[in-house]
Structure 1
Amino acid sequence: MNEALHRRGLLACAGLAALGAARADDEAAAKPARPPLERVAPDASLGRQLDGSEPRLSDYEGRVVVVSFWATWCPYCREEFPYLDALQRAGRDRLQVVSVNTEERDVFRKVARLLSEQVKLTLTYDPAKASRKAFEAPGSLPYSVILHRDRSVAGIKTGWGEGSLKNLVATVNAALAADAA
């Protein structure tokens, strides 16, 4: 008898979960799909640096640019960080990696002070959320946008894992090769 009640309870939970998934699908279908990001304005904000300066995308004219959004509380962001720095070091003057911290100024200040002497990439934070808006950053992290020199989007990477790392490197290499031709 107890087993039968347990089974009914599991079936009821499965039914509710399916109903919830169907409702979520209906709601998603009812919302118009946002077109994918295709280009970013050259004057797009890249946040604010520790010294108060506010770099713009146009500051990196002639380079492929990777803009990565991250937070210290995100373990995947922390795992990705050394790879982004390695990309910057390998790309030298043909590539610019900008890491935009999504946290408050005090958190950014502490982290930037620790990292600024260790990494070659540009560290910023986004107090007005202007960068997040310009690059259509979702709430999930890490999120990176790879841009060709003409500021068209070469690719977007969300999440973390071996596959996403290979995708990021392949997209950056393809953008560098295409822009060199």
Structure 2
Amino acid sequence: MNRRQLLMICGISLAALLGGIFTSQWISQTGLASEPSVKAFFANAWQSPDGKSIDVSKWQGKVLVINFWASWCPPCVEEMPTLDLLQQEFIQQNVVFVGIGIDSPSNIREFLKKTPVSYPIVIGGLEGSGISKQMGNTQGALPFTVIINSKGKATYSKLGKINEEELRKAIKSAL
């Protein structure tokens, strides 16, 4: 192999490496929820796991921490105790956590019997997946968390398992 071929291979390899680095950073980023997607969240007819309608109007004017999850998703299940802890910490500060289960109602009911949480859980189904994507989860992966401030503007989103301190800081900045 001559020197020119070696330089060409090194140049192509470097370009591929840099392309991979920049592409992976772009893919893993999520956008913030748009105003129409926040309106779609509030306009959706959410139901509790036992089939009762949820009055989402009582959530307007509050800071919402919306967490899209599923019982079959290990990182989702792992972060639920932290979400529950933070709900208790911020409940007096007009912060409401909402878990949107992207799962069947029966699976969610069974899961909550074993792993109860203090915050509301609603059935997401296909509508929940669509709203998750509208809110910036372009990959449609779980878990996905969004913070909406009291004025209805998204201030934070995270694809993947949350970090307690990062989420605490994001909630405080939304207050």
Fold conserved between structures, TM > 0.5? yes
Q: CA deviation at 1:106?
A: 1.9
Deviations 1:72-105 (A, max 9, x none): 2222111110111011111114111011111122
Counterpart of 1:131? 128
The offset of 1:38, in angstroms, is 2.8
% identical equivalent positions: 25
Structure 1 residues 59-68 or 38-47, which shifts more? 38-47
In the superposition, the TM-score normalised over structure 2's length comes to: 0.70
How far is 1:141 from its partner?
A: 1.1
2:96 aligned residue: 96
SS of residue paired to 1:69: strand
Q: Which residue of 1 aligns with 2:143?
A: 142
RMSD: 2.9
**Residue 44 of structure 2 corresponds to residue 76 of structure 1:** no
How many residues align? The count is 146
Shift of 1:126: 1.3
- Which of 120, 124, 128 is matched with 1:122 structurally? 120
Q: Which of structures 1 and 2 has the larger relative contact order (alpha carbons within 8 angstroms, sep 6+)? A: 2
In 2, Cα distance between equivalents of 1:75 and 1:170: 24
Q: TM-score, normalised by structure 1?
A: 0.68
Alignment check: 8 A CA contact 2:50 2:105 kept: no
Unmatched runs of 5 consecutive residues or more in structure 1: 1-14, 29-33, 177-181
1:87 aligns with 86
Q: Which runs of 4+ in 1 moved over 4 A?
A: none
Distance 1:57 1:152 in 2: 16
Q: Deviations over 1:17-45 (max 9, x none)?
A: x6xx88xx6xx9xxxxx974233116333
- Alignment-derived partner of residue 53 in structure 2: 54
Displacement of 1:54 in angstroms is 3.1
